[in-house]
Structure 1
Amino acid sequence: MSPKLTLYSHKVGPNGWKVAQVLSELGLEYETIFKEFGDGENGMKTPEFEKINPNGRIPALVDHSNNDLIIWESGAIILYLVKKYDTEHLLYPASIEEQAIVDTWFLYQLTGFGPYLGQAVWFKVLTGNTNVEASERYIKETHRNLKVINKQLEKEGSNGWLALGKITIADISFLQWVRFLYKIEIDIKTEYPAVYDWQERLLARPAIKKSTEGEVWN
């Protein structure tokens, strides 16, 4: 019997979608509740939602099959899901050594690529590029990170994946963020072809397609 899971997410924010993609790849059934920014009736900054996530952000997950356990922060949620429910090691390996390799790339997205790109979008797009110096810095760092990723995907023996020569949570953690690169006018198809090919292979997976139904781009 599939566990009963509720995912709190947002129709645009990439971190909720990457959790949904992991849930879908593992074949887990879940309900998604989409929240809005701010303190409106369906907002993340309401006392009701802050009981679930005191940080007032998405994603958050409630595992009703495990005493209504609440986990927030996308990385913590994904690690919980694979450690508890990925019994066949589809996305996360069994050995500590291989876990360390996957975790290296997984954490690189959480602490490096994601924050740099997020700041690039903020300064370039959301604030109207009013701080050109900050915008250029974060776009430059995003390009630097993309060179690292592209090189890894081209590496002999990688099979076009970031770790272990197969799809893992590391790949899924990057996907939705990579799809946001258009916002800062980075064309991965021409500039980072290995990243583009990797993205297209992920997007063609049935579970990924299923998990992103209802997503909104703006």
Structure 2
Amino acid sequence: MAPSDLKPITVYWRPQVPNPTKVVIILEELGVPYKGEFIEHADLKQPAFESVNPNGRVPAIHDPNTNITLWESGAIVTYLIDQYDTEKKLTYDTFPEKYHLVQWQHFQASGHGPYLGQAAWFLMFHPEQIDSAKERYIKETQRVVKVLDKWLEGKDSLVGDKLTYADLSFVAWNAAIGYFMSGRPKDEWEPETQFPNFFRWQNSMLARPSVQKASTLAKVEDVHL
């Protein structure tokens, strides 16, 4: 089905939050029409939204073209790629690349995003100042970025010879690091010198129109492709 024949996918969203942004980036890359339903923070744990996502978190989607409702950003990205990336623009169906993509996607969801999220919480939002927690999650942020930096030596992407959904799953979370590490000593976070491969890769993704649009939207309900 051509994009012009598709009904817009509803994205349940909050702006400038990494996981919802991840989904919008993929929709933008694939040219799939979407519309947004902004969820106020106070409404996340209310029955109306929990009927969509029992975990009470964004993002979630409803695709009227297939009548499926999904939550968890990784699951949503997998679905969008399987359903709409018919030209394999952001994926591979060859062996072993197909499984290496899944490997990196799982690393982002289980070993990258959660550590960065905890770092942001303890550095910026936790009501008590707990130095040991700050130290732990700063070090874990550095560690997971180092994993990426080492792997990207001599490479422009995580898998194969093009940017894929696996790469793009990292970009919004990576961008959050500068936010929660702002004002920290340079020996804790100066990616241009500490992690040059990571820095180059991240900047290449930040330059993509899909990432720029998804990162600057005030509210996704204002956008219709």
> Taking structure 1 as the reference length, what is the TM-score of the superposition?
0.89
Cα distance in 2, alignment partners of residues 14 and 173 from structure 1: 9
- 1:192 pairs, out of 185, 191, 195, with 195
Unpaired segments ≥5 residues, structure 2: 183-188, 220-225
Please tell me the residue identity of whatever aligns with 1:64.
P
Cα distance in 1, alignment partners of residues 107 and 161 from structure 2: 18
Structure 2 partner of 1:175: 171
Cα distance in 1, alignment partners of residues 148 and 11 from structure 2: 29
Kindly tell me the number of residue pairs found equivalent between the two proteins.
208
CA contact (8 A) 1:102 1:164 kept: no
Alignment of 1:90-109 (within 5 A): 90-109=89-108
Cα distance in 1, alignment partners of residues 215 and 114 from structure 2: 22
1:129–1:201 distance in 2 versus 1, CA, 3 Å? farther
Unpaired segments ≥5 residues, structure 1: none
Matched, 1:87 2:123: no
Please tell me the residue identity of whatever aligns with 2:212.
K
Cα distance in 2, alignment partners of residues 131 and 184 from structure 1: 16
Matched, 1:58 2:58: yes
Structure 1 partner of 2:186: none
Overall identity of the aligned pairs, in %: 40
Structure 1 partner of 2:111: 112
Structure 2 partner of 1:123: 122
Structure 2 partner of 1:15: 19
**SS class of match (1:7):** strand
RMSD: 1.6
> Taking structure 2 as the reference length, what is the TM-score of the superposition?
0.87
CA contact (8 A) 2:122 2:130 kept: yes
1:147–1:129 distance in 2 versus 1, CA, 3 Å? farther
User: What is the CA distance between 1:213 and its match in structure 2?
Assistant: 3.3
Question: Relative contact order, CA 8 A, sep 6+: which one is greater?
Answer: 2
Cα distance in 1, alignment partners of residues 41 and 175 from structure 2: 21
Greater mean alpha carbon deviation, residues 195-204 or residues 181-190? 181-190
Structure 2 partner of 1:44: 44
User: What is the CA distance between 1:190 and its match in structure 2?
Assistant: 3.0
**SS class of match (1:61):** strand
